[in-house]
Amino acid sequence: MKRIVLAIDGMTCSSCSNGLEKYLKKQTGISNVSVNLVMANALIEFDETILNQKKIEEFVKEAGFKSLGLFQENQEQSKSKNEKVKFIIFTFLAIILFYLSMGHMVGLPTIEFFDMHKNPINYTISLLIFAISFMIYGFDILKNGFKNLIHKSPNMDTLVAIGVLSSFLYSLYSTYMIFSGHHHYVENLYFESSAIVIYFIKLGRFIDRISKDKTKEAIQNLVTITPNYAVIKVDGQPKQVTIDEVQKGDIVICKPGEKIAVDGEITFGKAHLDEAFITGESKKSAKTIGAKVIAGSFNYDGYIEYKAERIGKESTISEIVQLVVEASNTKAPISKIADKVSGYFVPTVIIIALVTFFAYLLLGFDFSTSLITFVTVLVVACPCSLGLATPLAIVISEGLCASKGILVKKSEILENARKVDTVVFDKTGTLTYGTLKIAEIKNYSNKPEKDLMQIIGSLESKSTHPIGNAFTDYLKENKLETLNVKNFENISGYGMIGSVQSNEYILGNSKILSKYNIENTHTKDEENLANDGNSIVYVVENRNIIALIRSK
C-alpha cells in the first residue's frame, strides 16, 4: 500500500470533508482515507498496482472538489492576497447596499434618485446590479452547493445556494412585475438578502482562513529549520547549490555559524552541533569523522565535510513534518462524532425548510412570507460551528504541540491526554531548556557572585565554544556589561586564557589545570557536580582556582 497526502481545494465545512471521504472510500483500490478540513488535504492509502495519483485526482474531481497535487508543508496560497482585496471591495459594496436598502429603516437620509417609493425602477435596477455582483463573487459557493447536491452529499454550501437562489429568482419575478407597472412589488424584492447572505458567508470564511493559516505556522517553522542552499564539492572545488540539487553521495561543506543541509556522515573535520530541535538536549553534541549529522543542526565552532545520505523526503526533519501532517489527518473520537452528526444535519435541515415552506402556504400565508421562512431556516442552520470547531481545535492543539517540540502521533492521544495524572521520564537530561544554563556556582573567592560572573562572561564572550552561550546569557539576564579582555587565547580541547582588570584568568575543564601545572584542591566538589552528567568549568585567577561552575 502507498500513502500520499493531496492538497484539496473547495472544501468549506465538515460535510464537504465527509462527502469527499465517503466518495473516495467507495473507489476500488483505496483502502483508507482521512480528509482534513482545516489543513485542506487528504491522506490516502491505495494499492499502487491498481491506482495512481492521476486517477485518484480524477476521483476527487468527480466528488466535486479539486486536487492541487501533493500537499506541500510550506506551500503558499497565491490567491490569498487577491481574496483579501476582493473581500475589502465587497465589504465596501455591502455597506452601500445596506444603506440603499435599509437606511430608511434606521432613519438615515435617503437619496431621492434611489428612493424605493419615488423611483422604484431606479431602486430595483441598483439592487439587481449589486445582487448580480455578489452572485458572481459567491459563484464558488453556489457551484459547490449544487455539485454536492448532485453527488448526494449536500453540505453548508447547498443550504446557502438553495436559499440565495430562491430569494434571487423570486426577486427577479418581482422585478418583472415592477417593470410591468405593478410598483407595489418593490416591497417583495430580496436582492439585498441574497447579496448579504453571500457576504456574511465570505466573511466567516475569511476569518476561518486566518485561523487556519495560524495553525500551519508550526509546520512551516519546522520546514524552515533546514537551509535553502548548501555548498558541495565538485571536482575538489566548493559550489553553492539549492537544497534540491544535493544528491546522495555528494560531499557537503559546513562552516561555523551554518546549518547542516541534509542528513549525512562526517568525512572530515570536527565540530560542536546544536541538535536540540531533535534531541531536546541543551548540551552541544561533539561530532568527529564517522559521526552522523542531522539536517537543520547548527554548527557552532568547526569546519566539517560530510557525505549526503538522506535527502528530501527521506531526511529526519521531513519525516517529522510528515508525521505532524499525518497526525493532523487522524481523527479523534470526538471529531468522528461531529463528522457523523454534520453528515445527517444538512439533509435534515433541507427537509425541515421544505416542510416549513409548505406549512406556511397551507396555513394561509402568502408566497413571499413562506419563501422568507424557507430561506431563513436554510441560512441560519448552516453547520459551520459544528463541522469546523472540533477539527480546528484539534489541529491548533497539534500545531501548538509541534511548536513546543511535542510530536503527536494520533489525534486521539490529545483526547486521552486529559486522563494523564503522572508523567515518568526514564533518563537523566530528558527535561532541558534546549539551551545550556548556569545551574550552580561554587565561589571560592572573596568576589561577589555577579562580579565573578561578569569577569567569566566577558572571557566566554570571546569564545566560540557552545558553553560560552550560557555565560553570555547570564550577563544579559542580569544586565551586566562585558569587560575589556586582553591577551585572549582559545585553547582547543581545553578552554581559554585571557586578562581582565590586570588579572590573568584561565577557564576550562580539568585537563587545562594539568596543562598549566595548577594544583586541583577541589576534586571532591567536581565529582559531586559531575554526578548529574553536566558540564564543569574551572575558573583560575593568577594560578589559583577561585570557582567551579556547573551548566546544564
Catalytic machinery residues: 426
DSSP code at position 309: E
Please provide residue 156's backbone torsions phi and psi, each rounded to the nearest 5 degrees.
-55, -40
Residues 325 and 39: beta-carbon distance below 8 Å: yes
Q: From CA 3, how far away is CA 195, in angstroms rounded?
A: 42
DSSP 76-95: --TTHHHHHHHHHHHHHHHH
Q: From CA 490, how far away is CA 465, in angstroms rounded?
A: 9
Q: From CA 294, how far away is CA 315, in angstroms rounded?
A: 8
The Cα-based distances of 476 to 433, 434, 441, 458 in angstroms read: 17, 18, 17, 11
Q: From CA 509, how far away is CA 495, in angstroms rounded?
A: 7
In the structure, how many helices (H) and strands (E) does the chain have?
A: 18, 19
- Per the listing, cell 479539486 goes with 66
203-212, long-range: CB < 8 A, 24+ apart: 203/87, 203/91, 204/384, 205/12, 206/83, 206/84, 206/87, 208/388, 208/392, 209/80, 209/83, 211/392, 211/396, 212/38, 212/39, 212/40, 212/392, 212/395
Q: From CA 291, how far away is CA 276, in angstroms rounded?
A: 17
Burial call 48-78: b when 16+ CB within 10 Å, e when fewer: eeebebeebbebbeebbbebbeebebeeeee
Q: From CA 43, how far away is CA 30, in angstroms rounded?
A: 11
Residues 448 and 458: beta-carbon distance below 8 Å: no
Q: From CA 171, how far away is CA 126, in angstroms rounded?
A: 13
